Amino acid sequence: MKVMSELENNNKTRANDYVHNVYEQLKKRNMHETEFLQAAREVLDSLRPVFFKHPEYLDEGILERITEPDRVFTFRVTWEDDAGRVRVNRGFRVQFNNSIGPYKGGIRFHPSVNISIMKFLGFEQIFKNALTGMPIGGGKGGSDFDPKGKSDREIMRFVQSFITELSKYIGPDTDVPAGDIGVGKREIGYMFGQYKRLKSKFDAGVLTGKDPEQGGSLGRKEATGYGLVYFVDEMLKGKGDSFAGKKVVVSGSGNVAIYAMEKAIQLGATVIGCSDSSGYIYDPSGIDLEVVKQLKEYSNKRIKDYTMDHPRAVYKEGCIGIWTIPCDIALPCATQNELDEESAKILLENGVTAVAEGANMPSTEEAVHVFHTGGVLFGPGKAANAGGVAVSAMEMSQNSMRLSWTAEEVDEKLKLVMKNIYTSANEAAINYDYPGNLVVGANIAGFLKVADAMVAHGIH
Residue positions forming the annotated binding site for substrate:
104, 125, 128, 179, 392
Give the residue closest to ligand NAP by C-beta. 254
Residues that bind ligand NAP (CB under 6 A): 179-182, 224, 251-257, 275-278, 319, 333-335, 338, 358-360, 385, 388
Reduced to 3 states (helix: H, G, I; strand: E, B; else coil), residue 378 is strand
Nearer to ligand NAP, 266 or 278 (CB): 278
Residue 459 burial by Cβ neighbours in a 10 Å radius (0-12, 13-18, 19+): exposed
Nearer to ligand NAP, 333 or 451 (CB): 333
Nearer to ligand NAP, 139 or 252 (CB): 252
Binding-site sequence positions for NAD(+): 224, 255
The catalytic position among 119, 140, 150, 221 is: 140
Query: Closest distance between ligand NAP and the C-beta of residue 13, in Å?
Result: 37
Among 12, 388, 59, residue whose Cα is nearest residue 219: 388
Q: Is 140 a catalytic residue?
A: yes
The distance between the two most distant Cα atoms of the chain, rounded to a whole number of Å, is: 78
Nearer to ligand NAP, 141 or 388 (CB): 388
Q: How far is Cα 292 from Cα 251, in angstroms, rounded to an integer?
A: 13
Query: Closest distance between ligand NAP and the C-beta of residue 193, in Å?
Result: 21
Going across the sheet that includes 103-109, the strands are 71-80, 86-97, 137-143, 103-109, 175-178
Among 386, 456, 451, 453, residue whose Cα is nearest residue 421: 386
Going across the sheet that includes 279-282, the strands are 314-317, 279-282, 270-275, 247-251, 329-332, 354-356, 377-379
Query: Closest distance between ligand NAP and the C-beta of residue 332, in Å?
Result: 9
Nearer to ligand NAP, 19 or 207 (CB): 207
- Give DSSP secondary structure letters for 125-174: HHHHHHHTTSS-EEEEEEES---TT--HHHHHHHHHHHHHHHTTT-BTTT
Binding-site sequence positions: 104, 125, 128, 179, 224, 255, 392
Estimate the share of the chain in helix, then strand, then coil, as percent rounded to the nearest 5. Answer: 55, 15, 30
Angle at 443 between CA 376 and CA 236, to 5 degrees: 30
Query: Closest distance between ligand NAP and the C-beta of residue 131, in Å?
Result: 12
* Catalytic positions: 140
